[in-house]
């Protein structure tokens, strides 16, 4: 039973560029959440997708956007990259109503130079 798969594992981008991160949820899960984890910090909630719609959003600017596909996989897009966007981006999947049963991926390490 595959867990949560994220790609790529590492990424280096230049300021001002755009980036797309991908996530495949655990089998049987239909809800995907994205978190940003800056170095030395706990993860911060970006947004959650369910039934291909953004269900809720954290305190992140509109430069951060996402998408969920019919197969429940998801993408996180970040436009106009800033140095401060450098972080580990974690994807977590779950299945309502038991959303306390999150399964996390190993993340994508994004470095903005």
Partner 1 sequence: AQTVTQSQPEMSVQEAETVTLSCTYDTSENNYYLFWYKQPPSRQMILVIRQEAYKQQNATENRFSVNFQKAAKSFSLKISDSQLGDTAMYFCAFMKPYNTDKLIFGTGTRLQVFP
Looking up tokens 């430069």 gives 63
Q: For residue 40, state whether it binds partner 1 (rule: CB under 8 A).
A: yes
Q: Which of 96, 81, 72, 97 is nearest to 36 (CA)?
A: 81
For the window 69-88, what string marks contact with partner 1 as x by the rule CB under 8 A?
-------------------x
User: Is residue 35 involved in binding partner 1 (CB under 8 A)?
Assistant: yes
DSSP letter for 25, please.
Answer: P
Among the residue ranges 17-25, 64-72, 73-81, 98-106, the one whose residues contact partner 1 (CB under 8 A):
98-106
* Sign for the pseudo-dihedral over CA of 77, 6, 12, 89: positive
How many residues make contact with partner 1 (CB under 8 A)?
26
């Amino acid at each position: 039973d595959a867990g949560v798969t994220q790609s790529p594992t590492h990424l280096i981008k230049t300021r001002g560029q755009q980036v797309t991160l991908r996530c495949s949820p655990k089998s049987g899960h239909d809800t995907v959440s994205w978190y940003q984890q800056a170095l030395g910090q706990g993860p911060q909630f970006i947004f959650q997708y369910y039934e291909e719609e953004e269900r809720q959003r954290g305190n992140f600017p509109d430069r951060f956007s996402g998408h969920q596909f019919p197969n429940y996989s998801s993408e996180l897009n970040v436009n106009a990259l800033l140095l401060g966007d450098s972080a580990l981006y974690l994807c977590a999947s779950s299945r309502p109503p038991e959303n306390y049963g999150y399964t996390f991926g190993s993340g994508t390490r994004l470095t903005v130079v």
